[in-house]
């Protein structure tokens, strides 16, 4: 069974500063994908960035980068130059190829981190 | 634009009165998912369809049912809503279960209130 852990219930950052949101995972499958989603108060789930387990380089998407440390099973999200609009809930999620053969391909979420950006 | 559309955006239903939430997609994705998300919690998978094959999570209550009449539409039926079923319901689609590079595309969600 897979498991995603986000240990930071809430984080605060000053506008224009960088912030790191932590995520650790556990899976026995060698092939998996890691995702970060942003969920503003409106409720929609917005895809931010993806990292495959076999990817050699850390993923980057604009101001978002993923610090992937496979041996430590961590996939931290780094947001550079924070903006007020970045205030939201952030979810780390994982999808592997065969989750016990029942819900294979299922996307499992961590508990989320609420990020607040101060002006 | 191709997308996942959930209707309605907000739904108020009476305790015990059946309610249906709908999801449509123009992405032609073969997999559709329903998640329940309670306040300040992670989304929890209820069930998913791979084409017409229905897959129920082991801990999804019998009160929750789903229908997928065609590729584009998927419905979530709550037969007798209780106060504990008040939540955001998220529909998502994916191109294929086995291809990890494809994440999910989510709809905007339906926020259900039970009175």
pLDDT tens digits, A74-88 = 999 999 999 999 999
Q: Does A103 touch chain B (CB under 8 A)?
A: yes
In eight-state DSSP terms, residue B102 is -
Give the pLDDT score at A23: 98
Q: Which residue would you say has higher pLDDT here, A32 or B14?
A: B14
pLDDT band for position A102 (cuts 50, 70, 90):
very low
Q: Does A104 touch chain B (CB under 8 A)?
A: yes
| C-alpha closest to that of B31 among B6, B52, B55, B49 | B49
Q: Does A110 touch chain B (CB under 8 A)?
A: yes
Q: Is the pLDDT of residue B67 over 60?
A: yes
Residues A51 and B101: beta-carbon distance below 8 Å = no
The residues near A77 (Cβ < 8 Å, ≥ 6 apart) are A20, A21, A23, A36, A48, A49, A64, A65, A66, A67, A90, A92
Enter the tokens of residue B108: 């905007």
CA B106, CA B43: separation in Å to the nearest integer?
Answer: 12
Residue A88 backbone dihedrals phi, psi, to 5 degrees: 180, 180
Query: What average pLDDT score do residues B53-64 get?
Result: 93
Give the pLDDT score at A24: 97
Contact A91 B43 (CB under 8 A): yes
The count of CB pairs under 8 A between chains A and B is 70
Q: Is the pLDDT of residue B94 over 90?
A: no
Q: Does B4 touch chain A (CB under 8 A)?
A: no
């Amino acid at each position: 069974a897979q498991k995603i852990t986000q240990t930071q219930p809430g984080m605060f950052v000053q506008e224009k500063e960088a912030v790191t949101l932590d995520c650790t995972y556990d899976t026995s499958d060698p092939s998996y994908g890691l995702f970060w989603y942003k969920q503003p108060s409106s409720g929609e789930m917005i895809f931010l960035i993806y990292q495959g387990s076999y990817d050699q380089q850390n993923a980057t998407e604009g101001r978002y980068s993923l610090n992937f440390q496979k041996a430590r099973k961590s996939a931290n999200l780094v947001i550079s130059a924070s903006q007020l609009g970045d205030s939201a809930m952030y979810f780390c999620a994982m999808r592997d190829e065969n989750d016990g053969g029942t819900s294979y391909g299922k996307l499992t979420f961590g508990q989320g981190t609420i990020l607040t950006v101060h002006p | 634009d191709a997308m996942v559309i959930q209707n309605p955006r907000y739904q108020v239903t009476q305790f015990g009165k059946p309610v249906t939430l709908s999801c449509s997609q123009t992405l032609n994705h073969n997999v559709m998912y329903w998640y329940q998300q309670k306040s300040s919690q992670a989304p929890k998978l209820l069930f998913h369809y791979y084409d017409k094959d229905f897959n129920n999570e082991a801990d999804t209550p019998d009160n929750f049912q789903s229908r997928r009449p065609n590729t584009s539409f998927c419905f979530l039926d709550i037969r007798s809503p209780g106060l504990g079923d008040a939540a955001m319901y998220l529909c998502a689609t994916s191109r294929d279960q086995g291809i990890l590079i494809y994440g999910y595309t989510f709809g905007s969600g339906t926020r259900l209130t039970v009175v």
